[in-house]
Amino acid sequence: MKKYKPTSASRRNMTSPDYRVLTKGVRPHKPLLKRLKSNAGRNSQGRITVRHQGGGNKKLYRMVDFKQNRMDMNAKVLTLEYDPYRTAFIAKVQYDDGVISYIIAPEKLAVGDEILTADAAPFKTGNRMRLKNIVVGQQVYNIEMAPGHGGQLARSAGLYAEVLANADGYTDLKLNSGEVRRVPWTCLASIGQVSNAEWSLVNLGKAGRSRWLGIRPTVRGSAMNPVDHPYGGGEGAQPRGTRKPKTLWGKVTGGHKTRNKKKRSNQFIVKKRVSKRNRK
Protein backbone atom coordinates (compact mmCIF):
# COMPACT_ATOMS: atom_id res chain seq x y z
CA MET A 1 0.00 0.00 0.00
CA LYS A 2 1.40 3.39 -1.02
CA LYS A 3 0.96 6.41 1.26
CA TYR A 4 1.53 10.06 0.38
CA LYS A 5 3.12 13.03 2.10
CA PRO A 6 0.45 15.30 3.68
CA THR A 7 1.03 18.19 1.30
CA SER A 8 -2.72 18.98 1.43
CA ALA A 9 -5.78 17.93 3.41
CA SER A 10 -6.82 15.48 0.71
CA ARG A 11 -3.34 13.95 0.46
CA ARG A 12 -3.06 13.38 4.21
CA ASN A 13 -5.06 10.14 4.32
CA MET A 14 -4.88 9.20 0.65
CA THR A 15 -3.60 5.70 -0.20
CA SER A 16 -3.32 3.62 -3.36
CA PRO A 17 -2.26 0.06 -4.25
CA ASP A 18 1.42 -0.67 -4.76
CA TYR A 19 1.86 -0.72 -8.53
CA ARG A 20 5.58 -1.53 -8.38
CA VAL A 21 4.79 -5.19 -9.06
CA LEU A 22 3.49 -4.24 -12.53
CA THR A 23 5.65 -4.23 -15.64
CA LYS A 24 6.82 -0.72 -16.47
CA GLY A 25 6.75 0.96 -19.86
CA VAL A 26 4.43 -1.47 -21.66
CA ARG A 27 1.32 -0.69 -23.65
CA PRO A 28 -1.73 -2.98 -23.60
CA HIS A 29 -1.93 -5.64 -26.32
CA LYS A 30 -3.91 -3.87 -29.08
CA PRO A 31 -5.77 -6.92 -30.53
CA LEU A 32 -7.24 -7.60 -27.06
CA LEU A 33 -8.59 -4.06 -26.53
CA LYS A 34 -12.17 -2.95 -27.02
CA ARG A 35 -14.01 0.34 -26.55
CA LEU A 36 -17.17 0.00 -24.45
CA LYS A 37 -19.88 2.62 -24.70
CA SER A 38 -20.38 4.69 -21.55
CA ASN A 39 -24.07 4.97 -20.67
CA ALA A 40 -23.71 6.96 -17.41
CA GLY A 41 -26.32 4.77 -15.73
CA ARG A 42 -28.95 5.32 -18.46
CA ASN A 43 -31.08 2.71 -20.21
CA SER A 44 -32.01 2.53 -23.91
CA GLN A 45 -34.65 5.26 -23.38
CA GLY A 46 -32.10 7.65 -21.92
CA ARG A 47 -33.52 7.49 -18.40
CA ILE A 48 -31.22 7.12 -15.40
CA THR A 49 -31.77 3.65 -13.92
CA VAL A 50 -28.55 3.53 -11.88
CA ARG A 51 -27.76 6.72 -10.00
CA HIS A 52 -24.35 8.25 -9.25
CA GLN A 53 -22.67 7.15 -12.47
CA GLY A 54 -21.13 9.32 -15.18
CA GLY A 55 -17.99 11.08 -16.34
CA GLY A 56 -14.64 9.56 -15.44
CA ASN A 57 -11.49 8.99 -17.44
CA LYS A 58 -11.70 7.30 -20.82
CA LYS A 59 -10.66 3.65 -20.74
CA LEU A 60 -10.38 0.58 -22.96
CA TYR A 61 -11.70 -2.84 -22.02
CA ARG A 62 -9.19 -5.70 -21.91
CA MET A 63 -10.68 -8.96 -23.21
CA VAL A 64 -9.69 -11.31 -20.40
CA ASP A 65 -9.76 -15.08 -20.95
CA PHE A 66 -11.79 -16.41 -18.02
CA LYS A 67 -12.01 -19.93 -19.47
CA GLN A 68 -8.28 -20.73 -19.71
CA ASN A 69 -9.23 -24.11 -21.21
CA ARG A 70 -6.21 -24.71 -23.47
CA MET A 71 -5.35 -28.06 -21.90
CA ASP A 72 -1.78 -29.41 -21.51
CA MET A 73 -0.21 -26.29 -22.97
CA ASN A 74 2.29 -24.13 -21.10
CA ALA A 75 1.82 -20.37 -21.01
CA LYS A 76 4.62 -17.94 -20.17
CA VAL A 77 3.88 -14.69 -18.33
CA LEU A 78 5.06 -11.77 -20.47
CA THR A 79 3.80 -8.78 -18.45
CA LEU A 80 1.75 -7.86 -15.39
CA GLU A 81 -0.61 -4.96 -16.15
CA TYR A 82 -3.24 -2.67 -14.65
CA ASP A 83 -6.85 -3.12 -15.79
CA PRO A 84 -9.12 -0.05 -15.42
CA TYR A 85 -12.26 -2.21 -15.57
CA ARG A 86 -11.43 -4.48 -12.60
CA THR A 87 -9.87 -4.38 -9.15
CA ALA A 88 -7.41 -7.23 -9.80
CA PHE A 89 -4.26 -7.00 -11.89
CA ILE A 90 -4.06 -8.94 -15.16
CA ALA A 91 -1.23 -10.87 -16.78
CA LYS A 92 -0.42 -11.13 -20.49
CA VAL A 93 0.58 -14.71 -21.28
CA GLN A 94 1.83 -16.44 -24.42
CA TYR A 95 1.08 -20.11 -25.07
CA ASP A 96 3.47 -22.56 -26.69
CA ASP A 97 1.62 -22.18 -30.01
CA GLY A 98 2.15 -18.39 -29.98
CA VAL A 99 -1.37 -17.32 -28.92
CA ILE A 100 -1.39 -14.31 -26.58
CA SER A 101 -4.18 -13.69 -24.07
CA TYR A 102 -4.96 -11.83 -20.86
CA ILE A 103 -5.75 -13.70 -17.63
CA ILE A 104 -6.49 -12.63 -14.06
CA ALA A 105 -3.16 -12.47 -12.23
CA PRO A 106 -2.86 -14.28 -8.87
CA GLU A 107 -0.76 -13.12 -5.93
CA LYS A 108 3.00 -13.74 -6.24
CA LEU A 109 2.87 -14.35 -10.01
CA ALA A 110 5.96 -12.88 -11.69
CA VAL A 111 7.09 -12.14 -15.23
CA GLY A 112 8.77 -15.22 -16.70
CA ASP A 113 6.70 -17.72 -14.70
CA GLU A 114 4.94 -20.53 -16.56
CA ILE A 115 1.39 -21.69 -15.87
CA LEU A 116 -0.40 -24.80 -17.05
CA THR A 117 -4.00 -25.98 -17.46
CA ALA A 118 -4.12 -29.76 -17.12
CA ASP A 119 -5.79 -32.56 -15.18
CA ALA A 120 -2.47 -33.46 -13.56
CA ALA A 121 -0.93 -30.00 -13.18
CA PRO A 122 1.29 -29.39 -10.12
CA PHE A 123 -0.21 -27.39 -7.23
CA LYS A 124 1.53 -24.13 -8.19
CA THR A 125 0.11 -20.61 -8.11
CA GLY A 126 -1.67 -19.84 -11.39
CA ASN A 127 -2.02 -23.45 -12.57
CA ARG A 128 -5.54 -24.51 -13.53
CA MET A 129 -7.23 -27.90 -13.19
CA ARG A 130 -10.54 -29.61 -12.51
CA LEU A 131 -11.91 -29.28 -8.98
CA LYS A 132 -11.96 -33.05 -8.42
CA ASN A 133 -8.15 -33.08 -8.71
CA ILE A 134 -7.62 -30.29 -6.15
CA VAL A 135 -6.89 -31.33 -2.56
CA VAL A 136 -9.11 -30.26 0.34
CA GLY A 137 -7.99 -27.01 1.99
CA GLN A 138 -6.47 -25.54 -1.20
CA GLN A 139 -7.22 -21.92 -2.13
CA VAL A 140 -8.67 -21.43 -5.63
CA TYR A 141 -9.95 -18.51 -7.73
CA ASN A 142 -11.62 -17.87 -11.12
CA ILE A 143 -13.91 -20.86 -10.59
CA GLU A 144 -16.43 -22.13 -13.11
CA MET A 145 -20.01 -22.74 -11.96
CA ALA A 146 -20.76 -24.97 -14.95
CA PRO A 147 -18.22 -26.85 -17.11
CA GLY A 148 -17.06 -24.73 -20.06
CA HIS A 149 -18.78 -21.52 -18.93
CA GLY A 150 -15.56 -19.82 -17.79
CA GLY A 151 -14.66 -18.52 -14.35
CA GLN A 152 -17.49 -16.79 -12.49
CA LEU A 153 -16.57 -17.07 -8.79
CA ALA A 154 -13.71 -15.38 -6.88
CA ARG A 155 -12.47 -12.97 -9.58
CA SER A 156 -12.10 -9.68 -7.65
CA ALA A 157 -8.96 -8.39 -5.96
CA GLY A 158 -7.75 -10.52 -3.05
CA LEU A 159 -10.54 -13.10 -3.28
CA TYR A 160 -10.26 -16.88 -3.10
CA ALA A 161 -12.45 -19.86 -2.24
CA GLU A 162 -11.46 -22.81 -0.09
CA VAL A 163 -12.05 -26.40 -1.19
CA LEU A 164 -13.93 -28.16 1.61
CA ALA A 165 -14.90 -31.54 0.13
CA ASN A 166 -15.05 -33.63 -3.06
CA ALA A 167 -17.83 -36.23 -3.23
CA ASP A 168 -20.57 -37.60 -5.50
CA GLY A 169 -19.59 -35.50 -8.51
CA TYR A 170 -19.60 -32.18 -6.65
CA THR A 171 -17.08 -29.98 -4.83
CA ASP A 172 -18.04 -27.91 -1.80
CA LEU A 173 -16.44 -24.44 -1.81
CA LYS A 174 -16.35 -21.91 1.00
CA LEU A 175 -16.63 -18.45 -0.57
CA ASN A 176 -15.40 -15.13 0.78
CA SER A 177 -18.92 -14.21 1.96
CA GLY A 178 -19.04 -17.31 4.19
CA GLU A 179 -21.42 -19.12 1.82
CA VAL A 180 -20.69 -22.78 1.14
CA ARG A 181 -21.65 -23.62 -2.44
CA ARG A 182 -21.69 -26.92 -4.30
CA VAL A 183 -20.15 -26.90 -7.80
CA PRO A 184 -19.74 -29.79 -10.30
CA TRP A 185 -16.25 -31.19 -9.82
CA THR A 186 -15.53 -31.21 -13.56
CA CYS A 187 -15.40 -27.38 -13.47
CA LEU A 188 -12.01 -25.69 -13.80
CA ALA A 189 -10.41 -23.54 -11.10
CA SER A 190 -7.04 -21.83 -10.71
CA ILE A 191 -4.71 -22.34 -7.75
CA GLY A 192 -4.01 -19.36 -5.49
CA GLN A 193 -5.50 -16.00 -4.55
CA VAL A 194 -6.40 -13.08 -6.83
CA SER A 195 -3.79 -10.30 -6.94
CA ASN A 196 -3.99 -6.79 -5.44
CA ALA A 197 -5.24 -8.00 -2.05
CA GLU A 198 -4.71 -4.54 -0.51
CA TRP A 199 -7.34 -2.96 -2.76
CA SER A 200 -9.96 -3.02 0.02
CA LEU A 201 -7.72 -0.74 2.13
CA VAL A 202 -7.55 2.05 -0.46
CA ASN A 203 -8.57 5.52 0.77
CA LEU A 204 -9.55 7.75 -2.16
CA GLY A 205 -8.72 10.85 -0.11
CA LYS A 206 -10.70 13.40 -2.13
CA ALA A 207 -13.91 13.76 -4.10
CA GLY A 208 -12.07 14.38 -7.35
CA ARG A 209 -10.59 10.90 -7.33
CA SER A 210 -14.11 9.46 -7.22
CA ARG A 211 -15.02 11.56 -10.25
CA TRP A 212 -12.03 10.15 -12.15
CA LEU A 213 -13.51 6.69 -11.51
CA GLY A 214 -16.90 7.73 -12.92
CA ILE A 215 -18.62 7.98 -9.53
CA ARG A 216 -20.90 11.02 -9.14
CA PRO A 217 -21.86 12.56 -5.77
CA THR A 218 -24.43 10.91 -3.48
CA VAL A 219 -26.87 13.17 -1.62
CA ARG A 220 -28.16 12.03 1.79
CA GLY A 221 -31.90 11.39 1.95
CA SER A 222 -32.16 13.39 5.18
CA ALA A 223 -30.82 16.46 3.33
CA MET A 224 -33.67 16.33 0.77
CA ASN A 225 -37.21 17.70 0.86
CA PRO A 226 -40.13 15.46 1.87
CA VAL A 227 -41.28 15.31 -1.77
CA ASP A 228 -37.93 13.84 -2.83
CA HIS A 229 -37.24 11.21 -0.15
CA PRO A 230 -39.01 9.45 2.77
CA TYR A 231 -36.30 10.83 5.08
CA GLY A 232 -36.60 14.41 3.83
CA GLY A 233 -37.83 17.54 5.61
CA GLY A 234 -37.52 18.94 9.12
CA GLU A 235 -35.66 21.85 10.62
CA GLY A 236 -31.99 20.97 10.90
CA ALA A 237 -30.83 17.41 11.58
CA GLN A 238 -33.86 15.19 12.15
CA PRO A 239 -34.34 11.45 12.71
CA ARG A 240 -35.55 9.60 9.64
CA GLY A 241 -39.18 9.65 10.85
CA THR A 242 -40.07 6.26 9.38
CA ARG A 243 -40.33 3.08 11.38
CA LYS A 244 -38.24 1.02 8.94
CA PRO A 245 -35.36 2.15 6.72
CA LYS A 246 -36.53 2.83 3.17
CA THR A 247 -35.09 3.57 -0.24
CA LEU A 248 -35.76 6.70 -2.26
CA TRP A 249 -38.85 4.97 -3.68
CA GLY A 250 -40.24 3.92 -0.28
CA LYS A 251 -39.16 0.29 -0.53
CA VAL A 252 -38.29 -1.26 2.83
CA THR A 253 -34.60 -2.14 3.12
CA GLY A 254 -32.14 -3.02 5.88
CA GLY A 255 -32.09 -6.74 6.63
CA HIS A 256 -34.67 -7.45 3.95
CA LYS A 257 -33.65 -10.48 1.88
CA THR A 258 -33.88 -9.88 -1.87
CA ARG A 259 -32.85 -13.30 -3.24
CA ASN A 260 -35.61 -15.19 -5.07
CA LYS A 261 -36.64 -18.18 -2.94
CA LYS A 262 -37.50 -20.14 -6.10
CA LYS A 263 -34.14 -19.61 -7.81
CA ARG A 264 -32.93 -22.90 -9.30
CA SER A 265 -29.37 -22.55 -8.02
CA ASN A 266 -30.58 -22.42 -4.39
CA GLN A 267 -30.26 -26.20 -4.29
CA PHE A 268 -26.46 -25.86 -4.60
CA ILE A 269 -26.12 -23.60 -1.54
CA VAL A 270 -25.08 -25.82 1.37
CA LYS A 271 -24.76 -22.93 3.83
CA LYS A 272 -26.02 -19.37 3.37
CA ARG A 273 -23.65 -16.45 3.59
CA VAL A 274 -23.10 -14.86 6.97
CA SER A 275 -24.01 -11.19 7.52
CA LYS A 276 -21.12 -8.88 8.35
CA ARG A 277 -22.59 -8.13 11.77
CA ASN A 278 -22.58 -11.81 12.72
CA ARG A 279 -19.24 -12.61 11.09
CA LYS A 280 -16.40 -13.33 13.49
Give 130's Cβ-side CA count (13 Å radius): 17
What's residue 227's pLDDT? Answer: 94
Cβ count near 216 (within 10 Å) = 14
SS3 at position 211: helix
> All domains of the chain, ordered by start, with CATH?
18-41+57-199 (2.30.30.30), 220-280 (4.10.950.10)
Give 65's Cβ-side CA count (13 Å radius): 20
**Residue 231: CB partners within 8 Å, gap ≥ 6?**
220, 221, 222, 224, 240, 241, 242, 246
Cβ count near 231 (within 10 Å) = 20
Amino acid at 104: I
Outline where the chain has alpha helix (H).
9-12, 207-212
Query: Any idea what DSSP says for residue 93?
Result: E
What's residue 17's pLDDT? Answer: 93
Q: Are 115 and 133 in contact (CB under 8 A)?
A: no
CA-only gyration radius of the chain, Å:
22
What's residue 57's pLDDT? Answer: 95
Which ranges of the chain have pLDDT less than 50?
none
> How many angstroms separate the CA atoms of 175 and 141, rounded?
10
**Residue 170: CB partners within 8 Å, gap ≥ 6?**
182, 183, 184, 185, 268
Q: What is the value of pTM for the model shown?
A: 0.90
